[in-house]
Amino acid sequence: MGRIVLKSVTKSFGDVEVIPPLDLTIEEGEFAVFVGPSGCGKSTLLRMIAGLEDLSSGSIEIDGQDATQVPPAKRGLAMVFQSYALYPHMSVRKNIGFPLRMAKMAPAKVTARVETAAKSLNLMDYLDRKPADLSGGQRQRVAIGRAIVREPAAFLFDEPLSNLDAALRVGMRLEIGELHERLQTTMIYVTHDQVEAMTMANKIVVLRAGVIEQVGSPLELYHRPRNTFVAGFIGSPKMNLISGTQAQKYDAATIGIRPEHIDVSMTEGSWEGYVGVAEHLGSDTFLHVHGSGVSEMITVRISGDISVNQGDTIYLTPQSDQLHRFDAQGTRIP
Amino acid sequence: MAIVAKPSKLGTFGRPVLAWTVGLLFFFPIFWMVLTSFKTDADAVKPEHLIFFQPTLENYLNMTENYDYWRFARNSVITAVMATLFTLFVGIPCAYAMAFNPSRATKDVLMWMLSTKMLPAAAVLYPMTFLTKSAGLFDTHFLIILVLSLINLPIVVWMLFTYFKEIPKDIIEAGKMDGVNTWGEIREILIPLAWGGIAATALLCFIFCWNEAYWTVRLTTTNAATLSKLIEGNRAPEGLFFGRLSAVSAAAVGPIVVLGWFCQKQLVQGLTFGAVK
Ligand SMILES: Nc1ncnc2c1ncn2[C@@H]1O[C@H](COP(=O)(O)OP(=O)(O)O)[C@@H](O)[C@H]1O
Ligand SMILES: [Mg+2]
């Protein structure tokens, strides 16, 4: 249960085409992440899958059934909103049990399911509180609880962690990951944060202006980005993209090299430069190097701590097997 | 008010004085009316008895005996309550649809609804009288309820629309995902969340219905006549019976003043469309 197929799906708001024809298959049990910059149409796509937004054209299949005209409630999908969207007038218990009550489930069964969900989400002590009396993380858990009690065919998450502070976010990320491990239900997760995408996904869908730039596993995207957009979007710090004479040496319009794939020497190497800023994090050191042969600033990531300072002359050598080459259109050269 | 950044001396002292002056000015006619209602008709017109007089309950006693006050009052209650309920029954789904499933025409429909309030009532007086008489609806409760509902629907839909707009769309959509149908959504989510706004709207609608005089006076004779009609009826044939007229008026506005007193907060919220919290 939970295979979702989008066929030539499009969406326009008035005259503005937000999603040009788009095809995508999400397999049963997959953790798919839609990632892309703000405004690229991730939420719109997710809402179309949920049924909250009509399609301008194309069709959506859920488990082999055409669901294009099926209302949201009948699609068997559960959604967790960025704002949590809890019912403020209901207690946590009522919130979680709401979809079951609406499905006319027997009260005893509702209670049992709500308590099971609450236990797994550490919400047992809060069942009789109202959402207003909960912290952000607890509200998020309630929203997840309300989604899981229904045992949906798939979960839809729209930036569920972006209202949480950084520390909580990491914790919730793990919890959602564990939830997926446990339930093995299809999840579609929208985020603009590529770190979330990389850490959680089986399958990442990179979107730009409503167009799928690449679909693949996190490591596929990391090792073989299909174009300069994906190359620059996935990975932190960002991949260095260098064009001009240095790129021509490699028969490419642009070359890309990740900060962690550059060897550093104080005496010799391919590119000479001087250190602009050195960020010492302890575990890693980030150097921002201005080169003489390269016009772009190059970021280098070195494991551990090294003693370099601002202004030091330094030599950089890209690891040739980790070098990405792109043509003038920005497409990867194999 | 927001333009004055720092409260000036004039602001801190002048404003309460101004407020009290305006308040007393508005209150005075009502005060005078209530005072007059306790005077005999003879005393009522004598300037020397303006403040000092022998109070009497005669006017009130006469009223229930001679004019059947309670029948008019009952009609007022029935028509105002029923019209308010009917208006909400139609207005809530209507405002819900416009707030959460707006179409391109929603803004225009709202404007159009408001524009119907600009039609002078007198313009349709004769058609209305003629039509209701030939349809056999003249002087029926049904007609008055219908007319009161139609008069107040635009303002009620507008008010509800503004209140519903304040509910986050996500919550309504969460309801849709959770398997609620439209009626369930209105019953389980919308009404509990907008309860304050709905109550304020209902209250205002009730008051408007109660106070309505143009149509209730003209489309009734006895059967469905409301308190407005009672006041009106006391003016014409009896001439200068101010004491009696004041008593009738006081008894007509009394219930609504009491209601308004107890619901001040909701009323202010209603009249300012929730802008004052
Ligand atoms: N209801 C709407 N009406 C008009 N334009 C919209 C509507 N919803 C979204 N858009 C537009 O569609 C684009 C994609 O929005 P969205 O899917 O929310 O982006 P994302 O979630 O990736 O940040 C944006 O340019 C946004 O302005
Ligand atoms: Mg979004």
Amino acid at B126: Y
Question: Greater confidence, A291 or B111?
Answer: B111
Most confident of the following: A33-37, B31-35, B240-244 = A33-37
In this predicted model, which residue has the larger pLDDT, A8 or B54?
Answer: A8
Q: What is the pLDDT of residue B237?
A: 53
Q: What is the pLDDT of residues B172-219, one digit of tens each?
A: 999 999 999 899 999 999 999 998 889 989 999 999 999 999 999 999
Chain A residue with the nearest C-alpha to that of B195: A89
Domains of chain B, start order: 70-237+252-271 (1.10.3720.10)
pLDDT tens digits for range A37-87: 999 999 999 999 999 999 999 999 999 999 999 999 899 999 999 999 999
Contact between A66 and A59 under an 8 Å Cβ cutoff? The reply is: yes
**Torsion sign (Cα): A77, A82, A84, A85:** negative
pLDDT value for A325: 96
For β-strands A262-265 and A240-243, DSSP reports them as unpaired
Interstrand relation of A77-80 and A154-158 (parallel, antiparallel or unpaired)? parallel
Whether residue B277 has pLDDT greater than 60: no
Is B59 a residue whose pLDDT tops 60? yes
Q: Which of A10, A11, A16 to mutate to test the pocket of ligand 1 (most atoms within 8 A of CB)?
A: A16
Helices (H), B103-241: 106-115, 125-134, 141-165, 169-177, 182-184, 191-193, 195-211, 214-218, 227-235
Whether residue B193 and residue A52 make contact (CB cut-off 8 A), yes or no, is no
Measured from the CB, is residue A191 less than 6 Å from ligand 1?
Answer: no
**Is pLDDT of B167 > 70?**
yes
CATH of domain A238-326: 2.40.50.140
Say if residue A151's pLDDT is above 50: yes
Dihedral sign (CA A13, A15, A18, A21): positive
Check residue A307 and give its pLDDT. Answer: 85
pLDDT at A25: 97
The shortest CB-CB distance from B177 to any of A72, A82, A86 is to A72
pLDDT of residue A104: 93
Mean pLDDT in chain B? 87
Whether chain B has a CB inside 8 Å of the CB on A105: the answer is no
State the smallest CA–CA distance between residue B201 and chain A in angstroms. 20
Which range (A20-29, A281-290, B55-64, B78-87) has the least confidence? B55-64
Highest mean pLDDT among A82-96, A164-178, A269-283, B244-258: A82-96
pLDDT, residue B168, reads: 93
Residue A309, pLDDT score: 84
Give the distance (Å) from ligand 1 centre to CA of residue A17: 10
Please tell me whether residue A64 adopts helix, strand or coil conformation.
Answer: coil
Q: Are A132 and B214 in contact (CB under 8 A)?
A: no
pLDDT at A294: 76
- Smallest Cα–Cα separation from B96: which of B205, B203, B184? B184
Dist. CA A249–CA A228, nearest whole Å: 18
Residues of chain A with CATH 3.40.50.300: 4-229
Q: Is A227 in the pocket of ligand 1 (CB under 6 A)?
A: no
Helix axes A136-148, A107-120, angle to 10 degrees: 130
pLDDT average, residue stretch A156-171: 91
> From the alpha carbon of A207, which atom of ligand 1 is closest?
22
Residue A43 CA to ligand 2 centre (angstroms): 4
Q: How far is the CA of A13 from the centre of ligand 1 (A)?
A: 8
Count of CA atoms in the C-beta half-sphere (13 A) of A203: 16
Do residues A3 and A26 make contact, with C-beta atoms less than 8 angstroms apart? yes
Q: What percent of chain B has a predicted confidence (pLDDT) above 90?
A: 48
Chain B positions in Cβ-Cβ contact with residue A102 (cut-off 8 Å): 178-180, 184, 188
pLDDT of residue B6: 59
The verdict on a CB contact (< 8 Å) between B193 and A98 is: no
Of B168, B180, B193, the CB nearest to A102: B180
**CB of A38 closer than 6 A to ligand 1?**
yes
Least confident of A111-115, A320-324, B123-127: B123-127
Whether A134 shows a pLDDT value over 50: the answer reads: yes
Residue type, A218: P
Average pLDDT value for residue range B65-89? 92
Q: Distance, CA A94 to ligand 2 centroid (Å)?
A: 28
The residue count for chain B:
277
Tell me the mean pLDDT in the region B232-254.
Answer: 78
Question: Residue with the nearest Cα to atom 14 of ligand 1?
Answer: A41
Q: Do B179 and A78 touch (CB under 8 A)?
A: no
ipTM summary value: 0.87
Q: Which residues of A touch B181 (CB under 8 A)?
A: 73
Distance (Å) from the alpha carbon of A58 to chain B's nearest alpha carbon: 22
Topology of domain A4-229, CATH: Rossmann fold (3.40.50)
Cα A293 to averaged position of ligand 1 atoms, centre (Å): 42
B37-56: average pLDDT: 82
Q: What is the pLDDT of residues B96-144, one digit of tens each?
A: 999 999 988 999 999 999 898 888 888 888 999 999 999 999 999 999 9
Distances from the Cα of B85 to the Cα of A128, B82, B176, B202, angstroms? 34, 5, 27, 8
Q: Of all residues in chain A, what percent carry a pLDDT higher than 90?
A: 84
CB-neighbour burial class of residue A178 (10 A; exposed 0-12, middle 13-18, buried 19+):
exposed
B238 or B35: which leads in pLDDT: B35
B184: nearest CA in chain A?
A: A102
A151 touches chain B (CB under 8 A): no
Across B218-229, average pLDDT: 90
pLDDT at B2: 47
